[in-house]
Chains A and B, each alone.
Chain A
Amino acid sequence: MAPFVVRRFLDSLTVLVGVSFIAFAILFLSGDPTYLMIPENYTRAQITDFRHQMGFDRPWYVQYGDFLGHAVRGDFGVSLRNRIPALPLVLERMPATLELALAAMALSLAVALPLGVVAATRRGTLIDAASMVGGLVGQSTPGFWLGLLLILFFGVDLRWLPVSGRGGIAHLVLPGVTLATYSMGRTARVVRASMLDALGHDFIRTAHAKGLSGAAVVYRHALRNALMPIVTLIGLDFGVLLGGAVITETVFGWPGIGRLVVNAIYEKDFPIVETAVILIATVFVFLNLCVDIAYGYLDPRVRYD
């Protein structure tokens, strides 16, 4: 197990170096930031001096090496807009984004797991058909549109819930539902398929034959064996949620990384974009590392060697 964890960890590090390169390349290709940083009345000589001082006149690989060297020490450069270091600015927004993503994840699982299990155990019934059609509709609904409709109905017409900003649980409801809908539909469908697969095994018939109650068979025997694909999906879904948060946060004025990135893009503040992209990718890579390691505990059949 230990060598596997080490190898997988090193793999993740390589991926992160690649991520930093892609993020750097995007920033580099966006052009020379000099003109965003200097006053308009600079002379040509002053511009040359400034570029040299900032190191913008060096070849790209030197700049990348420099960037990577600073990045591992936690220095991601400064925001071009307000000259504040980029990392703290982005980190400050991280809790809000994680709160929203985790709430959406919890909501999605709370609905999708039971729904998928019920659909699988009552295969072919009206409940099955209705929940699967519902899942497909959820997967096909653009999140930002759903968000607008929810704002219109629950915020503007009924005035039940706040439609903007971060605060207590009430503020979390509408953005949480908006963000959860897609993964809810997808997870419910995967849970159903995975459960159907597990319920078809011989050990299920044995469990029934030795007189176990239906619930014990479903939850202790079938669901446990159906968990693997579901856990994989949860890991991948977290990336979808973090990405989806970009749009959801914009719709609901949620003060997270997503809204920060979108505003930074409008203002051409690329160090912020780059830092946020690298941080989100880091969270995602780390999470999927945990999922891989969790396999070993969830399923003793998985051997790492």
Chain B
Amino acid sequence: MTELDPERLLRVLAEHQVEFCVIGAVAAWLQGSPAVTVDLDVMPRRDLDNADRLAAALNELGALHQHDEAPVELEGADFLGWRTQRFETEAGPLDVVPHAAAIGGFEDVATVELSLGDLKVRAITLDEVIASKEELGRPKDTAALPALYAAREALRERRKTSRRKTSE
């Protein structure tokens, strides 16, 4: 498995103008959660044009579908079932999650914009990550919760401090 290079994955998706948001552990990590991960989960908007752009981005990343032995040129139509698909790419593992049971799709989720240098990406809010993990309740979701609660606490304290400084 290639080591995750999240910046390259996000940059290539952005360069291809894919409409997506980061979900899962990377979204939480970017908002302070101390639980690491080795793959990136993204939720694309579900429309054919976006699927075409997503396919082009994944082709640039040499994406190998988890069920394939060699990279196959992807097309937008490959995503039209809008099921979760896992890819190995030159920049590490990437899960494409068009819809998640607990949170819905791209249009449903609350997101926050994060500036990663010159790159701006949207990530699902920490509260959404927590709500989805609590609702799913599988052992791996429950195991992820303590780190998420810690990040929520740290974020609240940070906002409180920031508010105090502003009002002083």
A binds B: no
